[in-house]
Amino acid sequence: MAIYNNLATLFQPKQPSINPAQTYVTANDDSKLKDETYVYYGTRICGKVTASLPALSAFLPRVFNLEKQRQIEDEALQQRHKQALEKQLAENASDIISTKAEIDKTEHKISDLTEEISDFKEKLVEAKNLHGEVNKMSKVKLIIGIGILAILTLYLIVFYSSTFYSAFFKTFDADITVGAAMFDSQAIPHALNDGFGEVIFILCAPIIFMGLGYGLHFFMQQESWTKYVKSGAILIITFIFDCILAYLIAEKIYDINSLQYLAELPPFDIDIAANDVNVWAVIFCGFIVYLIWGIVFDMTMTAYEDLRSNKKEILKIESCIQSKKEQLSNENQILTDLKAKIESLENKKKAIDIAMSKTVHFDTNIIKTALSDFFSGWITMMNGLSRPRTEQDEANRIYSTTIDQLFK
Per-residue pLDDT tens digits for 20-62: 333 333 445 688 888 889 999 999 999 889 889 999 999 999 9
Q: Which has the closest alpha carbon to 280: 227, 242, 231, 330?
A: 242
Same domain for 387 and 280?
no
- Indicate the number of domains in the chain: 2
Position with higher pLDDT, 194 vs 275: 275
Q: Are residues 153 and 23 in the same domain?
A: no
Q: Are the C-beta atoms of 246 and 264 separated by less than 8 Å?
A: no
Of the candidates 303, 332, 358, which is a domain's last residue?
A: 303
Residues 114, 118: Cα–Cα separation, whole Å: 6
The burial class, CB within 10 Å (0-12 / 13-18 / 19+), for 164 is buried
**Res 83 pLDDT > 50:** yes
How many Cβ atoms sit within 10 Å of the Cβ of residue 202? 25
What residues contact 270, with CB distance under 8 A and at least 6 apart?
247
CA separation for the pair 87, 93 (Å, rounded): 10
CA 40 to chain centre: 58
- In total, the chain counts a number of residues equal to 408
pTM exceeds cut of 0.85: no
Q: Are residues 298 and 364 located together in one domain of the fold?
A: no
Report yes or no on 206 lying in a domain: yes
Nearest to 56 by CA among 46, 66, 67: 46
**Confidence category of residue 390, pLDDT binned at 50, 70, 90:** very high
What confidence score (pLDDT) does residue 16 get?
36
Q: Which residues fall within 8 angstroms of residue 408, CB to CB, at 6 or more apart? A: none
> What integer is the mean pLDDT of 109-131?
85
> pLDDT at residue 19 above 60?
no
SS3 (DSSP) at 355: helix
If pLDDT is split at 50, 70 and 90, which confidence band does 132 have?
low
Mean pLDDT comparison of 156-165, 196-205, 293-302, 394-403, highest-scoring range:
394-403
How large is the greatest C-alpha to C-alpha distance in the chain, in angstroms? Answer: 141
Is residue 311 in some structural domain? no
**Residue 325, domain member (yes or no):** no
The answer to whether position 84 is within a domain reads no
Instruction: Please tell me the predicted confidence (pLDDT) of residue 8.
Output: 40
Q: Do 225 and 290 fall within a single domain?
A: yes
Parent domain of 381: 2-78+347-406
Task: Considering only residues 45 and 183, tell me which one the structure prediction assigns the higher pLDDT.
Answer: 45
Contacts of 371 (CB under 8 A, 6+ apart): 38, 60, 63, 64, 67, 399, 403, 406
Is 399 within 8 Å of 368 (Cβ atoms)?
Answer: no
pLDDT of 110 above 80: yes
Least confident window among 248-262, 294-308, 331-345, 358-372 = 248-262
pLDDT at position 184 is 65
pLDDT at residue number 247 = 82
Q: What average pLDDT score do residues 64-71 get? A: 85
Confidence bin at 180 (pLDDT 50/70/90): low
Residues 6+ apart with CB under 8 A from 169: 190, 191, 194, 198, 202
Decide: residue 14, CB within 10 A, 0-12 exposed, 13-18 middle, 19+ buried.
exposed
pLDDT at 10 over 60: no
257 vs 39 pLDDT, higher one? 39
The radius of gyration computed from the CA coordinates of the chain, to the nearest angstrom, equals 49
Range 112-118 average pLDDT: 92
> Do residue 368 and residue 270 come from a single domain?
no
SS3 assignment, position 289: helix
Asked if pLDDT for residue 398 goes beyond 90, the answer is: yes
* Alpha-carbon gap, residue 102 to 345, rounded angstroms: 14
* Start-to-end C-alpha separation, the chain: 39
**What is residue 183's predicted lDDT score, i.e. its pLDDT?**
67
Distance from C-alpha of 306 to C-alpha of 239, rounded to nearest angstrom = 32
Asked, for residue 390, whether it belongs to a domain, the answer is: yes
Sign of the four-CA dihedral 182, 185, 186, 189 = positive
* pLDDT at 329 (0 to 100): 92
Residue ending a domain, among 303, 334, 364, is 303
Between 169 and 349, the higher pLDDT residue: 349
- At 4 the pLDDT is 40
Amino acid (one-letter) located at 60: L
C-beta of residue 178 within 8 angstroms of C-beta of residue 166: no
Highest mean pLDDT (candidates 186-200, 287-301, 385-399): 385-399
pLDDT for the residue numbered 61: 92
Tens digits of per-residue pLDDT, 277-317?
Answer: 778 887 888 788 888 888 888 888 877 777 666 677 788 88
Considering the chain, what is the average pLDDT of its residues? 79
**Angle of helix 53-73 relative to helix 38-48, nearest 10 degrees?**
150
The answer on 272 and 146 residing in a single domain is yes
- How many helices (H) and strands (E) would you count in the chain? 16, 0
Residue 340 placed within a domain: no
Decide if 188 is inside a domain: yes
Contact predicate 212/175, CB 8 Å: no
| 92 lies in some domain | no
Are residues 295 and 381 part of one domain?
A: no
pLDDT recorded at residue 174: 58
Residue 25 pLDDT: 39
How large is the angle between the packed helices 136-168 and 187-194, nearest 10 degrees? 50
DSSP 8-state symbol, 30: G
